[in-house]
Amino acid sequence: MLPRAEQKLQTRQALLDAARHLMESGRGFGSISLREVSKSAGIVPTGFYRHFPDMDQLGLALVNEVGETFRRTIRLVRQNEFELGSMGGITDASVRIFLDVVTANRPQFLFLAREQYGGSQPVRQAIATLRRGISSDLATDLSRMPRWQHLDNTALAVMADLVVKTVFATLPELIDEPAEGAAEPLSAQDKITQQLRFIFVGAKHWEL
């Protein structure tokens, strides 16, 4: 038999997994009930409260989880940027790294893609806070790169904000296949790569 603390962690994780599983059918987090999550996780509804006081707190735990995954991905991209030389190569390789992580953690990023505009205000606010934190971290990273030394802190912050908002806005297209008959001229991967190139090329030639 598992120790009580480990069993509690497993049940908590089962609740997170259950919520994401229910969302994979196309539902938003706000439409999922506590009873449904509990049933899917294999516990009684009263057992839910041993782990979360309400559904909003479960949603915040989901934001924290995908936030950790996102930050680990940013660290991989950051390492890639310092190792590669050409800007084009950096963008292509960084997008591939990001897409590999999105594919490997699809349920987490599906939640993030949908709930940044979803019905739960605490979850929306937590995602907005996560986005600002990632933008701030990216601006700090950019300030250490020789190619961006001509930009002041304000310009770097704007650039980082554009990059992160572009990634967040494109997440739904990266996760879901286009509807039948709605073929796009560019794949989601090609689109986000070109969007980032526009940002980087513009920043390279920016004059304060």
Map tokens 């770097």 to a residue.
156
- The pLDDT of residue 185 is 75
- The pLDDT of residue 135 is 94
- In total, the chain counts a number of residues equal to 208
Task: Spell out the residues 6+ positions from residue 148 whose beta carbon is closer than 8 angstroms to its own.
Answer: 142, 156, 159, 203
Give tens-digit pLDDT for 71-126. Answer: 888 888 777 665 544 555 678 888 888 899 999 999 999 999 999 988 889 999 99
Q: Are 14 and 1 a contacting pair, CB within 8 Å?
A: no
Q: Are 115 and 124 a contacting pair, CB within 8 Å?
A: yes
All residue ranges of the chain with pLDDT < 70 are: 1-2, 80-89, 177-184, 208
